[in-house]
Structure 1
Amino acid sequence: MKVFKFLKWFYPGLKVKRWIVLLGSGVFLLALSIARFLLDTLLMLKVLDILLFVLGLVLFILGIRYLIKSFFEVIGPNKELIDIIYEKRYLSRGPRVVTIGGGTGLSTILEGLKEYTSNITAIVAVADEGGSSGRLREEFGILPPGDIRNCLVSLAEAPQLMRDLFQYRFEEGKGIKGHSFGNLFITALTEVTGSFEEAIEESSKVLAIKGKVIPSSLDRIRLKAQYLDGSTKEGEDKIPKEEKPIKRVWIIPEDAKPNPQAIEAIKQAEIIILGPGSLFTSILPNLLIKEITQAICSRKDALKLYICNVMTQHGETDGFTTYDHWEKLIFHTHPNIVNCCLVNCGRLPSHLLFRYSQEKSFPVIPDTYKLREKGILVFEKDVVSRENYLRHDPYKSSREIMAIYGEFKKRWKRLRKK
């Protein structure tokens, strides 16, 4: 069997044999020239031996170069060799990062984080009931694939065409209108493999992602809210539509089991990131799984960073300040859920502010002094994107996250010495 595998190297069309022959010829000429140089006594012959040595060295170098190039054309056809080495060596030594959330906020941050580390685990909420995800959840009895798809695409290293394909949304067609290709792909894989987790894993391979994307729970979770007026509403997509101040939210079933992979990732993490994203419908559904919150709170040596939203969200956080976001977060979880907070202090363009105001969305007021009074480390940085939307810029945000992590490590070392 091993002999048969070895012979595969000599199959036609692999573009390997020619470079092996060139490399072998170079080695042969190098060995021959060195042996002759040691044995020959005439100066003229020694000069010929040196020329033979140079020829052998050239053939050896060319053989090595083109053999490596041939390998990497298969392994990474769209990448330079230095990029592949950088990803395999540098990024694999990056910090172990866990991100927790859902929606656009989580996938945006992942886009930037993958430039610093490949040790990323995205823990994604599974309470989504709206749009394509809600329909597939209802019809096929699977967990909602939409937020997971977005995270997979954000971490993908596959060609842009493949990423665009996963995000493609059908605008017409009976039964498929409104569905994205990626959602249908994950659903089909779930049917074929019999496992939602395995479907995510196989999708990860197709998209060649850096890191892992996992659901926070494998249970079918629903979200319920109570408003300040005492009324309640069930359904993640229905809660904001009431347009009333939310007092609290909880999950059904309240004893939903965490994904064991999520707990293990949190235990190993050096950086745990909550947000950005919808506080009540994207972030809290993960943290209302008791074991997940307990696992985070037990990590005293990890950077536990809350990234506060740039803008309020109508129907969820109307009129909220930075402190209000944090207060609701710990009200539903535990005071030790985070130890740092990243707040945007960048300028917000007036034309975008006007557009957002039409949708009753306004800048989150950064009353950070209240957070500092509670012992939270607050970092006010320009992390906003000003292109088409007022949301976190993935690259600015990730750069600041890594800087905060460096600062946190220094502080932690000083505390341990005391």
Structure 2
Amino acid sequence: MAKTWIRREVEIPNHMALARLEKCPELGPRVLFFSGGTALRRTSARLVHYTHNSVHVVTPFDSGGSSAKLRQAFNMPAVGDIRNRLMALADQSLRGNPEIFALFAHRLPKATGGQDELRRELDRMVRGRHELVAGIPDPMRKIVRNHLAMFQQNMPDSFDLSGASIGNLVLAGGYLANRRHLDPVIFMFSNLVQVRGTVRPVVNKNLHLAAELADGALVVGQHRMTGKETARLSQPIARLFLSDETGRPVEQPIRDKMRGLIASAELICYPMGSFHSSLLANLLPRGVGQAVAGASCPKVYVPSTGDDPECLGLGVADQVERLGQTLMADAPGIRLCDVLHYVLVDSRHGQYPGGLDVPRIRNLGVEVIDCPLIGYGASTDIDDRFLAPILLSLA
């Protein structure tokens, strides 16, 4: 079978193409996102109206909140971002899915009556007597109860349930029940709630993010970079790498399954979100850069608008360079034009604290697409109503 490149002019957004996709989303394009956080949640939910074939490569390196407690207790990858993306892509019209969504979004309260009270609430869920579980139809209810029971049986006596995400506990129980493999759990829940797309962690290992700052200081742990649970970084991030919990660098290759997912993409998107801990983190495992370079599809970066504590001292042009450097470091011979073609910005309404510098981006050989991305009102966030149609028009 012969292959060739075809250049064509594209209308953005292409309303005729979008209308066709809405009529037959099961045949929609394979748009692949490297994204770990919640910034893409609304866009993911909108995508299902146009394509059921999007691919979401998420980070399993979260080290804060509920995920951190599970990782410490069971030496496992983080599952919070996986849970978020599965629910964003689930078919909400399916019987039982709104109830599953409500359960997975539920968090146990911060302990006011002590851990015993929280353990009793968890036990009611395991027994199926809690209102959030009782309303779920079988067989989903039995599976949820079995996975929560597995978690309950293996939960250390010292485990702190305050603020625990029930969805994370269910996935952790499934992970333990499937001999510490995530893929079977993701596959099962994807089928149960009819996830309109594919969700996979970039690697299935219990690793951490580490960063060397401009002053030489070492920061270990994703949660120490985002400024959400600790003080914001006072120095720019100079180098990002995967590590064990002590900060010792670890080299981790991707599996052939992940190579295949990347190779099959019809568009690759590096979306908005925390630049280092959500986006670049996904590009660090060995083999990602080669796989992206080998994929014969458009590749688009959508920089965040507004404040990103991880981008201290970085304008959009700097981000483009760092994104390219991270991917090109994977193997000799990879060029920026192999891994990035377009940067999507809204220079009129978007706020880019470090500066945009369109001429510099274009001098790197990357085309800038300047179009409306920001919604109406005071918000400077990228609006899924604009972003999803534009990405699909480029695919």
Fold-level match, TM-score > 0.5? yes
Distance 1:121 1:140 in 2: 27
Superposition pairs of residues 2-401 of structure 1, within 5 angstroms: 90-158=24-92, 159-173=97-111, 174=115, 175-194=160-179, 195-240=181-226, 241-252=232-243, 253-299=249-295, 301-314=296-309, 316-334=310-328, 335=336, 336-345=338-347, 347=349, 363=353, 365-386=355-376, 390-401=380-391
Look up the SS of the partner of 1:403 in the other structure. helix
Are the counterparts in 2 of residues 310 and 364 from structure 1 also a CA contact under 8 Å?
Answer: no
Matches of 2:242 and 2:377, distance apart in 1: 36
Query: What is the distance in 1 between the residues matched to 2:98 and 2:378?
Result: 21
Residues 76 and 205 in structure 2, CA contact (< 8 A), matched pair in contact too: no
Distance 1:213 1:369, change over 3 A: same
> How big is the shift at 1:154?
1.1
The percentage of aligned residue pairs carrying the same residue is 26
Structure 2 residue ranges without an equivalent (≥5): 1-19, 116-159, 227-231, 244-248, 329-335
| DSSP 3-state at the match of 1:243 | coil
SS at match of 1:333: helix
Q: CA deviation at 1:370?
A: 1.4
> What is the distance in 1 between the residues matched to 2:344 and 2:250?
30
Larger Rg: 1
8 A Cα contact 2:21 2:27, kept in partner: no
Count, aligned residues: 306
SS in 2 for 1:266: helix
1:346/1:384 contact within 8 Å kept: no
Partner secondary structure for residue 242 of structure 1: coil
1:154-200 Cα offsets, whole Å, 9 max, x none, are: 11113434323211222234232222121111111112222221111
Question: When you count helix as a share of all residues, which structure comes out higher?
Answer: 1
Structure with more relative contact order (C-alpha pairs < 8 Å, separation 6 or more): 2
Kept after mapping to 2: 8 A contact 1:113/1:395: no
Gaps of 5+ in 1: 1-85, 354-361, 406-418
Letter in 2 for 1:242: L
Cα distance between partner residues in 2 of 1:401 and 1:184: 34
Distance 2:346 2:165 in 1: 32
Structure 1 Cα separation of the partners of residues 178 and 285 of structure 2: 27
| Partner-residue secondary structure (3-state), 1:176 | coil
| TM-score, scaled relative to structure 2 | 0.72
Change (3 A) 1:381 1:294: same
2:162 and 2:192 mapped to 1: Cα distance?
Answer: 24
Using a 3 Å threshold, how does the CA distance of structure 1 residues 149 and 286 change in structure 2: closer, same or farther? same
Alignment check: 8 A CA contact 1:98 1:121 kept: yes
Alignment-mate amino acid for residue 369 of structure 2: F
SS of aligned partner of 2:368: strand
Give the RMSD, CA atoms, in angstroms.
2.3
**Matched residues in 1 for 2:202 and 2:307: separation?**
25
